[in-house]
Amino acid sequence: VQTCGDRAQPAALPPALPPAPLGFTDVNLNSRNTYEVSRRRSAPEHLPHGGGTAPAAPAPPPQEPPERARHRLGIAGAGSSFAEFFTRNFFTKRTKELKPAVQSAPGWKLFGKVPPRENLPKDSKIIQQEYEARTGRMYKPPAPSARRKNIEFEPLSTTALILEDRPANLPAKSVEEALRHRQEYDEMVAEAKKREIKEAHKRKKIMRERFKQEENIASAMVIWVNEILPNWEGMRATRRVRELWWQGLPPSVRGKVWSLAVGNELNITPELYEIFLSRAKERWKSFSETSSENDTEDAGASVADREASLELIKLDISRTFPSLYIFQKGGPYHDLLHSVLGAYTCYRPDVGYVQGMSFIAAVLILNLEEADAFIAFANLLNKPCQLAFFRVDHSMMLKYFAAFEVFFEENLPKLFLHFKSYSLTPDIYLIDWIFTLYSKSLPLDLACRVWDVFCRDGEEFLFRTGLGILRLYEDILLQMDFIHIAQFLTKLPEDITSEKLFSCIAAIQMQNSNKKWAQVFASLMKDNKEGDKNHSPAPKN
């Protein structure tokens, strides 16, 4: 074996190659082995292949024959077996120890390295097994096929999660907890199933009632068209017609019956409507010029001030049945409603336009032609009750409120006393109901049915309907204070049905001490006149 100096001659080394991946070696006292490792790591591709296993390295250039390499490096044939022994033993050990060094950084200590620690995440099953081994508790969840067996209804919510197993990295449920969760889940499923069945029955009941109502309307329409309308004057007061009237008019004949019931005492013709409509259009054009002049005139007396209310109509039309989107600007009935209201303000300048008229005119437009709607509208507002409210005749309005309270106390004494305790007077809720004839406070189809009987019975039915609403919500109102009662009656619930309301209206008796509505109101009028005489100043001599 030649010396280390003979082997490490610089002239005999091959051209420089890319450095091999860095590794870490043991520190040995054998300097020859240490030098052999460093030399062979600098040129691993020239190591002998006598059984040793060299670590992986980048692909070297084409190698020369082994005999020529040995001759160039000065390795004698006789000493090759001794060198290969050390090389084979050393690199076999080095290969096994250096593999982890490439994968992860090892720990360090003096005179060597510490094998890298394994920080691989544990599988959830392994964690579960370790927990069971420490606690000694074993839990086997039921098979998935048996867990939700025979459950026809599954609630689509997170409530079903209580039946699920916990994640494997958490402690498993105990048997008692799993049974309790199973019981809670079954109870929730049962409640949800009952609620669903109840709602389904309710929907079916509503559909059956609707179909029955449609059949009744269809059969009633035949009677109205073929029997009643051709003989209107002779049959309108009969018991049979009044009963059909109470059940509601068929939509196809509703407008015609309303027109006949309201009448035309004012003798308005379609031609007269066109005259006042043209005048209203002229006023709209010249309003911007005349409004400044009208402002200087006496506010309550001049005709110009009353007709100037034409401009106020535009503000209210957009608020009329906003959910229908047919009376707003651009809707199919916007101009029609504007024309009817404008023509009325020119026809009755002493009344002008009052907020709430737009709802009455809109209901008539939905059931009648334009000219017929105007005729019915003008005659309807000419009735004593409507005229008193729309002209804001305070003395007449107070008499109507007093008559209402007489029947209120007669039919609903508990609620009457409850209202009295809060000093809640009828004007707080009745004004809105009377001004719009319930078309704003009730659903439109229900309001039309109220209109049906109102056309039959007159103003009495308006106040009877108010008492029916109070009777329907009596139990709720008895639990409220002043503020909540006023808010509730100003905006009634939207789910009110015609069957419930009319059953409550039918239970209201419009008699007090054998006096009907007209008699009670007449007595109040008489008392008021006598009181005015007693308080009138004495005549001067």
Taking only the tens place, the pLDDT of each residue in 339-395 is 999 999 999 988 889 988 999 999 999 999 999 999 999 999 999 999 999 999 999
Of the listed ranges 43-52, 324-333, 381-390, the one predicted with least confidence? 43-52
- Tens digits of residue pLDDT in 217-244: 889 999 999 999 999 999 999 999 999 9
- Tens digits of residue pLDDT in 485-500: 999 999 999 889 888 9
Q: Is the domain of 474 the same as that of 375?
A: no
For residue 501, is pLDDT > 70?
Answer: yes
Q: How far apart are CA 338 and CA 284, in angstroms?
A: 11
* Report field, pTM of the whole predicted structure over 0.85: no
Q: Is the domain of 436 the same as that of 363?
A: no
Which helix H or strand E contains 109, and what residues bound it?
strand 107-109
* Residue 92 tokens, joined: 């076999």
- Tens digits of residue pLDDT in 202-217: 899 889 988 888 888 8
Whether 332 maps to a domain, the answer reads: yes
Residues 383 and 455: beta-carbon distance below 8 Å: no
Give the pLDDT band (50/70/90) at residue 152: very low
Could you give the dihedral angle defined by the CA atoms of residues 336, 342, 347 and 349, in that order, rounded to the nearest 10 degrees? 160
Whether 73 maps to a domain, the answer reads: no
For residue 111, is pLDDT > 70?
Answer: no
Block residue for tokens 């029609």: 336
For residue 301, is pLDDT > 50?
Answer: no
Whether 449 maps to a domain, the answer reads: yes
Q: Is the domain of 454 the same as that of 337?
A: no
What is each CA distance from 184 to 146, 153, 155, 177, in whole angstroms? 17, 15, 13, 10
Mean pLDDT over each residue of the chain, to the nearest integer: 76
Q: Is the domain of 395 the same as that of 378?
A: no
- Tens digits of residue pLDDT in 51-108: 444 444 444 455 555 455 444 444 444 444 444 544 444 444 444 444 444 444 444 4
pLDDT at 143: 53
Amino acid identity of residue 492, one-letter, is L
pLDDT at 272: 96
Q: Is the domain of 243 the same as that of 198?
A: yes
**How many domains does the chain fold into?**
3
The stretch 135-139 carries a mean pLDDT of 61
Whether 148 maps to a domain, the answer reads: no
pLDDT at 406: 94
Q: Is the domain of 220 the same as that of 343?
A: no
**pLDDT over 90 for what percent of the chain?**
45
Q: How far apart are CA 205 and CA 200, in angstroms?
A: 9
Whether 97 maps to a domain, the answer reads: no
Q: At which of 382, 406, 435 does a domain end?
A: 382
For residue 198, is pLDDT > 70?
Answer: yes
Q: What domain range is 409 assigned to?
A: 389-530
Q: Is the domain of 361 the same as that of 231?
A: no
Question: SS3 of 309, please?
Answer: coil
